[in-house]
Structure 1
């Protein structure tokens, strides 16, 4: 166990994932404390707000999120529901924990679904303890009556774990936090594995080539809306019905943290407006990028000239940047406590604009000074895009070498911020 962990480790037997030896024995649901406060409001007919935070599998417009939300509305017709869709494709709990206040908790949810197992598949268990515990503790500090449900999905690269009778590593780590805080969890991928083992389902394929099988996905990760997502939604529905009335409502206790250096202090910092004397500007509302990303990035700042610079001083262990990557992105010169390095904010997916984030890692707990400069130098974007066989047909779209920044993220305390 990493340093800083609580001294009462959760047993794997309780978690129900590590010691399984067959798919038939694998539990897809752990009720634990259930969702009593959610169901109390449902049966009282009061407005109920349901939040979903996760990646692209939950973001899908005709996916398990919309299917389960619509099921709630139909199954409890006398309860007015409001959906809080806080999903962002390609992101994990490391960004999610920083987004919790603004994108989820400020909207006062009664229930929060948390789905990050696929996008967090490359993270170490210790990192996931920190981020997932941060999400839980932030939620219950904001409102101890908010119920939480962890849900796990699966991609082809970890599907073999389920077939062998165990959760993938990311879900196992999340189960440790779920068990410690008595949060219910549902692994939607177990049913997919059972259907596959029975010869009824092909995980990745083309429906037209497999008319006698359920084809779950065509890209190894994202369930098909007609045949994959309904399986996920049916599993959630089954266990929601089981949890209705199964526990007594009341505030959720906040015990001693499971891991002392969890990310409950993670902050998404709103930046001050740059003055006209700096090399920065806030994107006006009429600019397409500003409108396209306004839901999660209400303010976006652009470097207006080469050598635009940020000066940041903070006390803590981690500094992150919430930005936009795309055709106009470039290299950044980053200096941390006198040590210089280059950060590339253009990659093989940068033929379109998308939300991004990166962090300065391995910082000691203390005061740090960081400078970020946008040099504006040209580099071979075409070569980078060729990794995905993308050809540049309109060079003017890639001519700019700048940076689009929305927020900074601090694990600790921001001491000063300056545009230049």
Structure 2
């Protein structure tokens, strides 16, 4: 509750009056787009039955005591007679191109009543069409299984989009998502609008050290991730204001699916465990006692280690989208990809952020829509990891920590049909 009071204090600190009007324009700084609202969510709250709220997004939503926890605690405080359950499906550094594959297992299996979707920052490097395909897949997956579940898109910001918003426009990732939200009448909240308003009013420093700016709100220290005591409460209050605005709009309404915006959207995305494929020699399923498996067991219950050289597996499928869901880190190396008998390509599963292990994805490029056969192989080929880490000013002090060239895989990502 302490954080909630802090959040309200920040709101009272000087937040300007938001524009509540539901508008179809994408070139302004509307904070809310109401559209079809959240009728089923508020209807169920009124019954006193258990209400399940899912949050799927990147590190901004993953943050402990961030806007996710602040808003969830507000729901519990605002509606004390309703038992709430939080579904935390957040993974830092990932976008909707992984999120759409994770929906079935990480979100829909837990039967949500409301799904908050936050990928605007991590989707920023993708094209608008790519974003529309994956976000539309998330929507269509949800309503095919749970037509009564409500969805709310939420948009966060980083330093690189502040200038765009100051000129009165959403960043391109949010614009792409708004196209889907408008088509399906999904409400959306741009949580960065209030941040920019406070910045324009001279009451907020976007990136800085709080100790160097007394009397002002410092939003972030790293240009992206909000500070828990100052940045996240602004985001949370945008959501709370929207919920208060929508509270009276309660009804039982089954969401229907119109024709898609993108015909080749990713609603058929599936995450197939690696155990379902025929693996060559050289693969090892990590035991439950393995430290790396324990670290990632929440979203990766099984993790396979490929001992190079030569550990491989082959996927035959019909479609055009194929990838892997893996873990990259200090001891990972190169993966060789051979598609349809063509010249193999080598893909690094190690980068400048591999000081520690993290979940990651890789998609095979330039596949036409049709039948394909793709082989993945751990090469064991060595390369200069120290030179790559220099990009982030990381120095290898103990070479043994990086003495490995294998792969850690959980599953295959497929949009299409797996063929035997």
TM-score class, shorter-chain normalisation, is over 0.9
TM-score, L = length of structure 2: 0.93
SS in 2 for 1:342: strand
CA contact (8 A) 2:277 2:315 kept: no
| Aligned mate of 1:129, from 113, 132, 145 | 132
Post-superposition Cα deviations, 1:233-284, rounded to whole Å, max 9, x if no partner, equal 0110011011112253210011111111111001111222688972111100
| Aligned mate of 1:374, from 375, 378, 389 | 378
SS in 2 for 1:272: helix
239-248 or 213-222, which deviates more = 239-248
What's 2:245 paired with? 242
CA contact (8 A) 1:274 1:280 kept: no
| Aligned mate of 1:212, from 208, 215, 222 | 215
Aligned residue pair count: 398
What's 1:229 paired with? 232
SS in 2 for 1:91: coil
What is the correspondence of 1:181-220 to structure 2 with a 5 Å cutoff?
181-220=184-223
What's 1:118 paired with? 121
SS in 2 for 1:58: helix
What is the root-mean-square deviation of aligned Cα atoms in Å?
A: 1.4
What is the correspondence of 1:82-101 to structure 2 with a 5 Å cutoff?
82-101=85-104
User: 1:125, CA displacement in angstroms?
Assistant: 1.1
What is the correspondence of 1:58-97 to structure 2 with a 5 Å cutoff?
58-97=61-100
SS in 1 for 2:338: strand
User: 1:398, CA displacement in angstroms?
Assistant: 1.1
User: In 1, Cα distance between the equivalents of 2:384 and 2:366?
Assistant: 30
What's 2:24 paired with? 15
CA contact (8 A) 1:316 1:412 kept: yes
TM-score, L = length of structure 1: 0.93
What's 2:60 paired with? 57
User: In 1, Cα distance between the equivalents of 2:170 and 2:249?
Assistant: 25
What's 1:6 paired with? none
SS in 1 for 2:274: coil
Matched, 1:278 2:281: yes
What's 1:384 paired with? 388
Gaps of 5+ in 2: 1-21
CA contact (8 A) 1:274 1:282 kept: no
User: In 2, Cα distance between the equivalents of 1:122 and 1:277?
Assistant: 35
When residues 225 and 276 of structure 1 are mapped into structure 2, their CA distance, relative to the original with a 3 A threshold, is closer
User: In 2, Cα distance between the equivalents of 1:87 and 1:266?
Assistant: 18
What is the correspondence of 1:19-34 to structure 2 with a 5 Å cutoff?
20=28, 26-34=29-37
When residues 256 and 220 of structure 1 are mapped into structure 2, their CA distance, relative to the original with a 3 A threshold, is same
User: In 2, Cα distance between the equivalents of 1:41 and 1:98?
Assistant: 28
CA contact (8 A) 1:15 1:176 kept: no
Post-superposition Cα deviations, 1:53-97, rounded to whole Å, max 9, x if no partner, equal 000000000110000000000000000000000000111111100
CA contact (8 A) 2:327 2:408 kept: yes
| Aligned mate of 2:365, from 335, 343, 361 | 361
SS in 1 for 2:419: strand
Post-superposition Cα deviations, 1:107-164, rounded to whole Å, max 9, x if no partner, equal 1000000000011111111111111110000000011000000000111000111111
Matched, 1:348 2:352: yes
What's 1:400 paired with? 404
What's 1:4 paired with? none
User: In 2, Cα distance between the equivalents of 1:295 and 1:163?
Assistant: 39
User: 1:303, CA displacement in angstroms?
Assistant: 1.1
User: In 1, Cα distance between the equivalents of 2:365 and 2:417?
Assistant: 16
